[in-house]
Homo-oligomer: A and B are copies of this chain.
Amino acid sequence: MSPQLDFWVSIGSTYTYLAVMRAEEAAATAGVALRWRIFSVRQIMIEQNNIAFRGKPVKAAYMWRDIARRAAMRGLAPKLPAPYPLEEFDLANQVAVLGLERGWGRDYIRAAYRLWFEKGMRAGEGANLAAALGGLGLDPETVTAEARGDAVRAAYLAATGEAKRIGVFGAPSFVAGDEVFWGDDRLEDALSWARYGAVRAG
């Protein structure tokens, strides 16, 4: 069986753009099976008094610049800063929960991020949902209605509770066994841990 790595995604996180655009390919190259999980990083960060960028203009400006430089390195061309923060992040994530159950979740998440970061269309809002879901041949109204339902919402909250229990406090995160790795820039460390039980150099 392939080594496995859990990829904890929360739409609304900025650096997660970099991760969703490359994680699947990087994992495949490493021979690691990637399991995408959706959670509310905001709920955990509020509980832990962990404020990423609100009221921190210097740090926020740096974040956009850092993402721009790393995106360029990877051949991506986002229009930054993207609209931030999102208001409808919970709906964006609940659609992703449903999509991962149905098999179109990864494509939806990448599409939602591309539209948000490359076209300025906020994830979770009507235009983004219409384009991302429509592009996958899905009916946005039907999908969105189901994503708002109790079953999906319960799964999203349960996953958030699980993330918190295992020590996930930020997004994106990668979890291999008991080891948490936080940040797009720890994907290589996480893949190494999944394969070898240690972080090995490049």
Chain A residues close to B by CB (< 8 Å): 48-50, 55-56, 58-59, 61-62, 65-66, 69-70, 72-74, 167, 169-170, 179-182, 185-186, 189, 193, 198-202
Contact = CB atoms under 8 A, between A and B. Distances in A.
Given A66-B182, A182-B66, A189-B70, A169 B59 contact: yes
Contacts of A179: 65, 69
A79 to B, nearest CB: 18
Copies of this chain, tallied across the complex: 2
A130 to B, nearest CB: 34
B58 A167 contact: yes
Given A50-B59, A62-B167, 19 more contacts: A48-B56, A58-B167, A58-B169, A59-B169, A61-B167, A62-B169, A62-B180, A62-B182, A65-B179, A65-B180, A66-B186, A69-B179, A69-B198, A70-B199, A72-B199, A73-B198, A73-B199, A73-B201, A202-B202
